Each structure stands twice: as structure tokens, then as C-alpha cells.
Structure 1
Amino acid sequence: MELRWMEDFIALARTQHFSRAAEEQNVTQPTFSRRIKLLEEEMGTTLINRQTLPLTLTPAGAEFLKLCEQVTERVRLTRERLNRMTSEQASRLLIAAPQSLLTHFLPHWMTNQPQLARLQPYLRATGWLIADYFQGLACGECDLALCYWPVGRCDIDIDVSEYQYLIVGREHLIPCSAPGEHGAPRFRLPGTKRHSQAWIAYHPRGLLSAAIASHLARMPEATHLTVLNETIQTNNVKELVSLGYGLGWLPARVAKPALDQGQLVRAGDERWDIPLQLRLYRLAGTQRYELDKLWSQIASSSEVTPGASE
């Protein structure tokens, strides 16, 4: 049984006339009459009393009309709900970001800018390396990518010429260590040849690893570090550093609570801090109304700095 047959039956019960009901349903009368006949055959009984003018329903037809009205109304409400869901989904924009930015930056940023309410964090991206973000943008897996970006010169083997970005914030990496005796850092930069310092490092193909390496290469004094562990997640670095396994660089937003409480201390002075930008990337040349609108709103904010494709 087709839904349109039920709609035909409701129209016929309302108009009490085959021709008017057929016109209302935008079909010819023969086609309409045939569909009503098929409906009666499907139900196994006569639903229309054709001997009266205007037409009337048989007792079975009156009962069947209740079912038709219930079914078509539920279908209508469900269709409206699905359309709203589709519309809402179309207006949502997936933003990929490292776990530390999802936790320590994105909620505050979204709260202060109401237009960002349509953003939906793409949690799968918390395990991505920097190249994965641009691949995700290129294949449409996400609409925006929020990532750390070094301020100084840094060798990053990624072609970003097809992407646009906005600078939406600032950050810096702080070298941290668990406190030792009298609150002094258990591990301290720069280390010596005889006493190399244990280092909880980031994944070598990650952007933070490249930023740290570039910064250390520009420092006038050599560092002596021994990598004990490499990880993607900033929280993993913080956990291992807090447990006293070595020193590590942490974003200031991540490190500040532990530094304030004395759970972590600086492993070096400000010379070892590494400035970063918080960049929001999108694939250039894409045309999507919701994304274009949001991009323009963010770009017009006094808190951001537009950047051209590199």
C-alpha cells in the first residue's frame, strides 16, 4: 500500500466527489478511481458507497479513514522533523583541532562569539598530526582546522598554498618540569654533555615538534636533551612531566594551572619560550554559504588577523 493512496482516500472523503478529489490530487479521474479501487482490493473490503450522491464512506471506510489520517499526520510530522534535522546539519560546520585547543581555547572562544554556535568539534581529529588537518580539509572531512602555528621560521613539509587562514589567537610553549628539592626544577635547560636532560617530546611529524626544533636551533647555546617519549597529545606530555619523567614544552593555557599550584615549575627562563599563533584554516575556493558567512564574521572581528594563502 502506498502513502499516496491514503492521501487520495482522505481527499475523496473530504470532497465526496471523484472528479474534485482527482483534481486536488493532480491526477486524472480514471487514474484516481483506479488507485481507490486498488486501495479497496488491498484492504479486502468496500470503502466507498458509490450509490449515494454525494459519495459516502462505508462503516469500514470510516474506520479506515481514521488510520489514514493518523498515518499521514505522523509521516508529515516526521518529514518536517527530518527536514529540520537536515537543515540544522547543513548549517553546522565541523572544526578539527588538537585536544588541547578543544579543551583550553575553543569553549571560551565560542562563548565570546555567538556566531560560532554553529561550529561542531570534530573529535576524531584529536589524534591527527598537522598534515592530517589539511588532508581533512581537502577531502571535506572537516570544514575548518584550528591549529598551532610557529611565529618564527620553521621547516614544515606541507603545501598550504591552497588554504586560507585567520589568526584567531596567540599562545606560547613553556618548558616545564616537575619540582624537585626546594621547588627547583628536577630537569633544567639547557643540560650538559655529562648530564643530558630527559625530554618528553612531541611526535616528530607534529607541528609542535618542528616549532621546538626550530627554536632550539636558533638559540645561542646548545641543548643536551635525551628523548624518553614521543606523543601526539599535549595532555600526555603534561602527565609524564608531572610524574617527573623529564621536561617538556606545554602550551601556556595548559601549563598555567599546574604552574600556579606549584605542581609544575619552569625548566628554563623566558628565552626558552616558543611563540605560537592560533590559526584557523579553510580550503580556498570552496563555496558554501554557511562557511563563507562564518568566515567573514570571524575575519571582521577585531580579535583576528587575516592571512593570505602561503
Structure 2
Amino acid sequence: MEIRWLEDFVALARTRHFSRAADEQNVTQPTFSRRIKLLEEEMGTTLINRQTLPLSLTPAGEEFLQLCEQVTDRVRLTRERIQRLTDEQARRVLIAAPQSLLSHLLPQWLADHGLQELVVPYLRATSWLLADYFQALERGECDLALCYWPVERCELELDTSAFRYRVIGEERLVPLSVADGSGRPRFVLPGSRRSPLPLMAYHPRGLLSSAIAAHLARQPEASHFNVVNESIQTTNIKELVGLGYGIGWLPQRVVQRALDSGHLVRAGDTRWDVPLEIRLYRYHSRQHGGLEALWKHFERIGSPLSSLSS
């Protein structure tokens, strides 16, 4: 028994006429009549009194009509709910971001713009390298990528010509150390050849590693490090620095509480800070209703977002 047979029976009970019911169901009358006959065979009894004009239902048909109305109504409501869910899912925008931005910027940013229901974090991206974000944007795995970007000149082996971005904020990578007994940094920049500083470094193919290296290369005073750990995650670096294993550069948003409490202190003055932008990227050719509406919203509100760039 098929749902459309039940819908046919409801239409016939309403119109009391085979031809009109067949027209409502967009089928020929012979097909419609055959389906009603199959329905009666399935139920094992006569449901339609064909001797009256207009047609009438038998007592069994009247009883069966109630079931048909209940079932078809529930199916209709379920279809509508499923369609709404499908439409909502189609409008949702997936945003990829590193763990530090996901934890310390994204929730407040979404709340400020009222985007909590529209924009959904893509949690698989928290340990990606920079190139992974652009590859995911290009193949449609995510719709937006939120990432750090160096303000100063930095050579990155990455072609971004097919992408557009908006700047949504600023950040600084701050060199940090645990404090000694007097509240001073245990490890102090720039170190020396004889006594290089133990460094909690970022992944060598990551953007933050490149940004730090480019910034240090521009300093008049050479710095000296012994890399003792490499990590993609800022939380890992923060934990190791906090345990006193060495120095590390961390986003100021991530470590502000630790700085305020005195648990972590600067390992050097502000000339060692690495300025960053926080950029929101999209793939230029990506067609997505929710994404287009979101991008137009950003264009309307303007500040604090920068103008578009290709």
C-alpha cells in the first residue's frame, strides 16, 4: 500500500467523483480507478459505493477515511518539517578556524552580529595548516575560513588570487615566559649563541611560524633559540610555556588572563611583538545562498570590517 493511494482515497471522498478526483491527483481516470481498486483489494473490502450518484462511501469506507486523513496529514506535516530543516541546513554557513580563534574570538564575534544560528563552526579544521583552509574552501568542504594573517611582509607559498577576504580584527603574537621568584621572565629575549632560549615553536609550515621568523629577521639584534617543541595548537604552546619549559609567542587574546594574573610575563618588550590581522576568507566562485546573504550583510555594515579584496 502506497501513501498516494491514501491521498487518492481522501480526494475521492472529498469530490465524490472519479474524474474530478483523478484531475486533482494529476493522473488519468483509468489509472486513478485502478489504484482505488487496488486499495480495496489491499483492505479486503469494498470502500466505495459506486451505485449512488454522487458516489458514497460504504461504512468500511467511512472508517477507512479517518485513518487515511490521519496518516496523510501526518505525512504532510512531516514533509513540511523535513523541508524546513533542509532549507535551514542549506542556508547554514560552515566556518573553519584554528583552535585559538574558535575559542577566543569566534563565539563573541558571532554573537555581536547575531549569526549564531546561521554560521556553524567546522570543528575538523582546528588543527589545519594555512594551506588546508584554502584547499577546503576551494573544494566546498567549508564556506568561510577565519585565519591569522601577517601585517608585515612575509613570504607565503600560497596563491590566494581566487579568494576574497575581509579583515575582522587585529591580534598580536606576544613572546612569553613564566615569571621567576621576583616576577621577572625566566627566559629573556634575545638569548645568546652560548645560551640559546628554549623555544616552543609553531609548525614550520604554518603561517605563525613564518610570521614570527620574518619579524625576527627584521630586528637589528639577532635572537638565538633551541627549538624543543613544535606544535600547531596555541593551547599546547601555552601549556608548555606555562610549565616553564621555555619561551613561546602566543596570541594576546589567548594569554591575557595569564598576563593579568602574573603567571606569564613578557619575555621581551613590544618590538618583539608580531602584528597580525584576523581575516575572513571565502572562495570567489562558491555559490551558496546563506554565504551570499552573509557577505552582503558585511558589505552593508562596513566597519569594523575592511573593504573587500581579491
Q: Report the TM-score range of the alignment, normalised by the length of the smaller protein.
A: over 0.9
CA contact (8 A) 1:100 1:254 kept: yes
2:268 equivalent to 1:268: yes
1:306 and 2:310 correspond? no
* Cα distance between partner residues in 2 of 1:188 and 1:70: 76
What residue in structure 1 maps to residue 160 of structure 2?
A: 160
Q: Corresponding residue for 2:37?
A: 37
Shifted more, 45-54 versus 247-256: the winner is: 45-54
Worse overlay, 17-26 or 179-188? 17-26
Paired position in structure 2 for 1:207: 207
User: How many pairs were matched up?
Assistant: 309
- Cα shift at 1:55: 2.3
- Displacement of 1:16 after TM fit? 2.0
| 1: CA distance, partners of 2:259 / 2:115 | 33
Secondary structure, in 3 states, of the residue corresponding to 1:160?
coil
Matched with 1:182 is 182
SS of the residue corresponding to residue 182 of structure 1 reads: coil
Work out the CA distance in 2 between the residues paired with 1:34 and 1:115: 53
Matches of 2:175 and 2:113 in 1, distance apart?
31
What's the counterpart of residue 256 of structure 1? 256
Q: Which residue number corresponds to residue 296 of structure 2?
A: 296
Helix, strand or coil: the match of 1:64?
helix
Distance across 2 between alignment mates of 1:13 and 1:246:
82
Distance 1:144 1:136 in 2: 9
Partner of 1:136: 136
Query: Which residue in 2 is equivalent to 1:57?
Result: 57
| Percent of residue pairs identical | 65
Letter in structure 1 aligned against 2:92? R
Q: Comparing 6-15 with 40-49, which one deviates more in the overlay?
A: 40-49
- 1:230 and 2:230 are equivalent in the alignment: yes
Mapping of 1:114-125 within 5 angstroms? Answer: 114=114, 117-125=117-125
- Counterpart in 2 of 1:191? 191
Aligned to 1:27: 27
Q: For structure 2, which runs of at least 5 residues remain unmatched after alignment?
A: none
Q: Distance in 1 between matches of 2:103 and 2:286?
A: 28
The 3 A distance-change label for structure 1 pair 70 and 117 is: closer
Residue in 2 aligned with 1:8?
8
Aligned counterparts of 2:51 and 2:110: Cα–Cα separation in 1: 68
Q: Is the partner of 2:208 in helix, strand or coil? A: helix
Compute the displacement of 1:208 (Å): 0.5
Q: Give the superposition deviation at 1:28.
A: 2.4
Hey, which bits of structure 1, 4+ residues long, moved more than 4 A?
none
Deviates more, 1:289-298 or 1:244-253: 289-298
Q: Name 1:82's counterpart in structure 2.
A: 82
CA distance in 2, matches of 1:186, 1:45: 91
Deviation digits for residues 239-262 of structure 1, max 9, x if unmatched?
Answer: 111111111011010011110011
Give the secondary structure class of the aligned counterpart of 1:183.
coil
Which stretch has the larger CA shift, 43-52 or 239-248?
Answer: 43-52
> C-alpha separation between the residues in 2 aligned to 1:168 and 1:116?
17
User: What is the CA–CA distance in structure 1 between the aligned matches of 2:23 and 2:92, rounded to whole Å?
Assistant: 41
CA deviation after TM superposition for structure 1 residue 185, in Å: 1.1
Q: Aligned pair in 2 of structure 1 residues 100, 2: CA closer, same or farther (>3 Å)?
A: same
- Determine the structure 1 residue equivalent to 2:108: 108
SS of the counterpart of 2:220? coil
Rounded Cα–Cα distance in structure 2 between residues aligned with 1:156 and 1:273: 19
SS, match of residue 291 in structure 2? helix
Shift of 1:173: 0.4
Determine the C-alpha separation between the residues in 2 that align with 1:242 and 1:59.
81
Unaligned runs of 5+ in 1: none
Task: Report how far residue 235 of structure 1 moved.
Answer: 0.9
Structure 1 position 287, deviation (Å): 3.5
Helix, strand or coil: the match of 2:45?
coil
SS in 2 for 1:164: strand
Q: Distance in 1 between matches of 2:198 and 2:109?
A: 35
CA contact (8 A) 2:11 2:21 kept: yes
* Conservation of the 8 A alpha-carbon contact between 1:116 and 1:294: no
Q: Give the CA deviation at 1:216.
A: 0.9
